[in-house]
Structure 1
Amino acid sequence: MPGPTKDSLDLDADMTGVQMRDAMGQLLQKLRYEPTAKRIRATLGGRTVVDTTRAMLVWEPRRVVPGYAVPYQDIHAEISLRSSTPLENDAVGFMLPDLSKVPVFDPRIPFDVRTTAGEPVEVRVPETDAAAAGFRAHDPGLADHVILAFADFDTWFEEDDEIISHPHDPYGRIDIRGTSRHVQLMLDGHVLADTTRARMLFETNLPARYYLPMEDVVAPLEPSSTSSMCSYKGYATWYSATIGDQRVDDIAWQYEHPLSDAADVRDYVAFLDERLDLVIDGEQQKRSVTPWS
């Protein structure tokens, strides 16, 4: 049986393993794009102004979720240059120290915080005067495409399913697993929740979340006026808690009508353990640092 060749031995000698998170962190500071086979549609001012099977997913530098870039020919509205002063990006962003040494941009960071060379444009529906921001990047891979501000449009669809918050990342996902670990959430010695019936939600590049049966929550919870949405999980209701003699606002959330990917945490409640003491099987965990810390 022939042995390895010299070339293969040299190749093996030059290859060094890399942790995937480190590789993703290095790519985070680059402009990234990927074609999608999905039909993408968007409405603006009550009209369908985007309808394409040639869209690209685009991650501008430091952005952790993608946007859509659409060919000019597939945008059925007026497109013109717009004046825009790029917002300073050095002082904005959120730390994800496990992933990046520089602040990252999540969907809360405005579209016009720019780290890519190019020209701002506007997409306008003359009949209704509805308008949305866009950006034409000076990159050959995105020639003849416009990156569109997701939040400026009325609705987005991948095929026939509505998409909320931002496009789905083909390299990110969520997994939900039941666990019998002993999970306790505490603050200043007060127990908020205590369970061995949690469901763990694993999401790419984020700490694991523990979703707990409401019956195992000890601290009184009161619905707040805050709401949020997640592209993978749906719309969340938030709660404030009374802990000892203090009230802690917006410390927990619940998906009462989750999207299909998150069906297994329906009616379970999760806590921002970045701001609490999380104890697993009797061992206190180090508090994670995330954009919600």
Structure 2
Amino acid sequence: MATSMDELTMSQLGSLRWADMRRRVRATVDGRDVVDSPAPLQVWEPYRVVGCYAVPVADVAVRLVNSQTVDASVEHAPILTPDDPFAIHTTPGTVYDLRAGGRTLRGAGFRPRDPDLADHVLLDWSAFDEWREEDQTAIGHPHDPFQRIDCLDTSRHVVVRVGDTVLADSRRPTLLLETHLPPRHYLPREDVRMDLLVPSDTVTVCAYKGVATYWSAVVGDDVVPDVAWTYTDPLTDAEPVRDLICFYDERVSLTVDA
């Protein structure tokens, strides 16, 4: 019987997983490199869909202090995302604070009780001021070596509505495909009723696409919050969708004709 790769990946969600990242990574605190590793791993604790960097303890230039042994947490969501704190550990191990200069990064280190990860410490991405992969700044979270995005020109006819009002009508979208996520259609601004969109204060960060800003739709007396977004200064892989508008399929009526 053939194997679905999506199903195969999800079937391992409850396992402790790791991958060799094959790049140099560095993390800074107050302008100083406190982590510098030519041999990082990416580690996914059970039920996490986004991993963290794990480096040999010798590649951490600050002290690991205040060790605390923990058991695997049994009270957690079925799937853990970057919104779930690093402090939720779903495998047994030892938690450490990192003392960097005058700062203490509480609980920022974790050493799983697993022989394949012996002498490695998992690091809390959010505890550090900046991360770099080689000399390139990384944002959001570590890049997953098994995830990618593709931006494809297409002639599909995309229509976006709220109720009976058309917000966008385009025959020249860019289709953005991201591993394990639903397809998204990015539309030229000329094909969008920008007069019905109001800028929002919402900002999100994607490790692969960059920083997104949002709009809400105002149609008569109805307001649909954060219905659309754009990347005005995208990362390299998302350059084809620069300044294009994408709508949440879940918040509008979006139809696509082949």
TM-score normalized with structure 2 length? 0.93
Structure 2 counterpart of 1:248:
224
Structure number, greater radius of gyration:
1
Tell me, yes or no, if the aligned pair for 1:45 and 1:130 is still in contact at 8 Å.
no
Query: 247-256 vs 200-209, which deviates more?
Result: 247-256
Q: Which segment drifts farther, 44-53 or 127-136?
A: 127-136
Q: Which portions of structure 1, spanning 4 or more consecutive aligned residues, are displaced by more than 4 angstroms?
A: 82-91
Equivalent position of 2:119 in the other structure: 144
> Which runs of no fewer than 5 residues in structure 2 stay unpaired?
none
Once the two structures are TM-superposed, the CA of residue 174 in structure 1 deviates from its matched residue by 0.1
Contact 1:190 1:244 in 2 (8 A): no
Q: Does 1:80 align with 2:65?
A: yes
Q: Which amino acid aligns with 2:220?
A: G
Measured at CA, do residues 170 and 64 of structure 1 come closer, stay the same or move farther in structure 2, by a change above 3 Å? same
Q: Does 2:10 align with 1:20?
A: no
Query: Matched residues in 2 for 1:134 and 1:181: separation?
Result: 48
Q: Which 5+ residue runs of structure 1 have no aligned equivalent?
A: 1-15, 93-102, 283-293
2:243 corresponds, among 256, 267, 273, to 267
Letter in 2 for 1:193: A
Quick check: 1:186 aligned with 2:161? yes
Higher strand proportion: 2
Conserved? CA contact 1:55–1:71, under 8 Å: yes
Task: Classify the secondary structure of the residue corresponding to 2:8.
Answer: helix
1:236–1:45 Cα change, 3 Å: same
Contact 2:70/2:93, CA 8 A, preserved across alignment: no
User: Does the residue aligned with 1:274 lie in a helix, a strand or coil?
Assistant: helix
Of the candidates 26, 47, 51, which is equivalent to residue 66 of structure 1? 51
Structure 2 counterpart SS, 1:50: strand
Tell whether 2:102 aligns with 1:128: yes
Whether 2:212 is the aligned partner of 1:236: answer yes
C-alpha separation between the residues in 1 aligned to 2:153 and 2:30? Answer: 43
Offset at residue 84 of structure 1 (A):
8.8
Letter in 2 for 1:238: Y
Q: What amino acid is aligned across from residue 103 of structure 2 in structure 1?
A: D
Aligned-pair identity in percent equals: 45
User: Is residue 86–residue 113 contact of structure 1 (8 Å, CA) maintained in 2?
Assistant: no
Inter-CA distance 123–237: structure 2 relative to 1 (3 Å threshold): same
Distance 1:163 1:82 in 2: 28
The DSSP-based 3-state class of the residue aligned with 2:255 is: strand
Aligned-partner Cα distance in 1 for 2:110–2:230 = 35
1:281 Cα deviation from its structure 2 partner: 1.6
Cα distance change of structure 1 residues 86 and 149 upon mapping to structure 2, 3 Å threshold: farther
The residue number in structure 2 matching 1:197 is 172
| Shift, 1:187, TM fit | 2.3
Which range moves more in the overlay, 70-79 or 189-198? 189-198
Which among 210, 214, 217 is matched to residue 185 of structure 2? 210
Name the SS for the 1:23 alignment partner.
helix
- Which residue of structure 2 lines up, in the alignment, with residue 157 of structure 1? 132
Q: What's the counterpart of residue 254 of structure 2? A: 278
Residue type matched to 2:21 in 1?
T
> Does the C-alpha gap of structure 1 residues 209 and 87 become closer, same or farther in structure 2, counting only changes over 3 Å?
farther
The answer to whether the 8 Å contact 1:50/1:74 transfers is: yes
Q: Check if 1:56 corresponds to 2:30.
A: no
Give the Cα separation in 2 of the matches to 1:180 and 1:229.
29
Whole-angstrom distance in 2 between the partners of 1:36 and 1:87:
25
CA contact (8 A) 1:44 1:131 kept: no
CA apart distance, 1:181: 0.8
